[in-house]
Amino acid sequence: MKLIHTQSLAIGYTEGRSNKVLQENINLSLSSGEIISLMGQNGVGKTTFIKTLSGLHKGISGSVYHQDRLIDEISKSSLAKQISIVLTEKPFAAHLSVIELIALGRHPYSNWLGRLSTSDKQAIDLAISQTNIDYLASKKLYQLSDGQFQKVMIARALAQETDLIILDEPTAHLDLSNKIEIMLLLKSIAGSGKGVLIATHDLQVSLQLSDRLWLFNFNRPVLEGCPEDLILQGAIDQTLFPINNNIDLTTGTVKHLDERKGNVLLQGDPTIVHWTAQALQRNGYAVNKDTPTSTTINCLDYLWRLESKDTSTSFDSIENLLIHLK
């Protein structure tokens, strides 16, 4: 089911008596069970766009539809049951407890006194469990790290029980363990039939998580499609690295920019070759895995044998190999 779509939408802001358009002619849609990542450089309009989709900001022209209803025709209370949004700013009073903040996600469903029903409490408990923040429930917001606060905000969105969750940089302040945890959580949420839209700068998160990408660029049409197609078409390079093509098409990662020290042929155990290649590229070497060069490194049984011309030298670690090459 199509949860949201736009028609000829233009977004931006008012500057004096005129409108400053950031993006225009936006025709995009997101359906149940999809994860879509919105990417682009700073200032291109990503946050303005997600605020427009969620009803927090009015578009300059065009239309936004939620389940085929024009957003302007949906009351705020009804919209809050359809869309939850997690922004990067901290709009809540620092003296609130974690449980109190998450409970705000039930506001569209609670009575006029704000009392929580049994189903409200169950939704809150489930959101806390899904985000693994039981240990934070009694803490005050001012006691949280940025990463902890981000997870609490995601829990509030989950407690809201909407069909669409929109997140602005959800992994920006998280360490690797928590980032993986959030990625798996978002994948699980989409697997349950909800739609998930992520505005992010994290290319790896986008490539590993997303069914499709929406790419915003300056003075260019919005691009959308399967991540792998967009990489092969060069669209991600054009969006994120418009001056230099920095995406390695074989891995989807950012290239090492300094490869001035020569070419090296790597052979051997695939796992050891992978990490050896990363170390060599970081230190300025171009790595080949099939084309012969004057220098060959064989990686087997955690020994590195460097062969160059008529010499052969073995090393017991990547670090010692790098020291020798320097």
User: First and final CA of the chain: distance in angstroms?
Assistant: 58
Domain count, the chain: 2
> Which CATH number belongs to the domain containing residue 103 in this structure?
3.40.50.300
Structure tokens at 294: 């004057």
pLDDT at position 259 over 60: no
Percent of the chain predicted with pLDDT > 70: 92
DSSP state of 206: H
- In terms of domains, do 110 and 215 share one? yes
What is the per-residue pLDDT across 10-32, written as a single tens digit (0 to 9) for each? 999 888 888 899 999 999 999 99
- 110-119, 136-145, 274-283, range with greatest mean pLDDT: 136-145
Beta strand spans in 40-111 (E)? 61-66, 69-70, 83-86
Does residue 2 surpass a pLDDT of 60?
A: yes
Given this model, what pLDDT does residue 126 score? 94
Q: pTM of whole model > 0.95?
A: no
Examine the domain organization and report whether 224 and 278 are in the same domain: no
Q: Looking at the structure, do residues 318 and 182 belong to the same domain, yes or no?
A: no
Q: Is residue 216 part of a domain?
A: yes
Which phi and psi angles does 322 have, rounded to 5°?
-65, -40
**C-alpha count within 13 angstroms, C-beta hemisphere, residue 39:** 25
- Rounded to whole angstroms, the Cα distance separating 137 from 176 reads 22
| Residues, the chain | 326
101 and 186 belong to one structural domain:
yes
Q: Among 207, 240, 273, identify where a domain stops.
A: 240
Beta partners for 313?
306
Q: Which amino acid is at 133?
A: I
Residue 48 sits in the same domain as residue 149? yes
Same domain for 208 and 305, yes or no, is: no
The answer on 147 and 39 residing in a single domain is yes
Say if 246 falls within a structural domain. Answer: no
Quote the domain boundaries for residue 185.
2-240
Please report whether residue 254 resides in a domain: no
Whether residues 224 and 275 share a domain: the answer is: no
Are 28 and 136 in the same domain? Answer: yes
Say whether both 42 and 177 belong to one domain: yes
Q: Within a domain: residue 256? A: no
Q: Which H/E stretch holds residue 118?
A: helix 118-130
Same domain, 126 and 271: no
What's the token pair of residue 211? 């069914």
Instruction: List b or e across 146-179, with b for residues whose CB sees 16 or more CB atoms inside 10 angstroms.
Output: ebbbbbbbbbbbbbbbbbbbbbbbbbebbeeebb
Q: What SS3 class is residue 50?
A: helix
Residue 247 domain-assigned (yes or no): no
Enclosing H/E stretch for 29: strand 29-31
Same structural domain, 162 and 209: yes
252 domain-assigned:
no
Nearest-angstrom CA–CA distance, 86 and 95 = 19
The 3-state DSSP composition of the chain as helix, strand, coil percent (nearest 5) reads: 35, 30, 40
pLDDT in tens, 44-96: 999 999 999 999 999 999 999 999 899 999 999 899 999 999 987 765 677 88
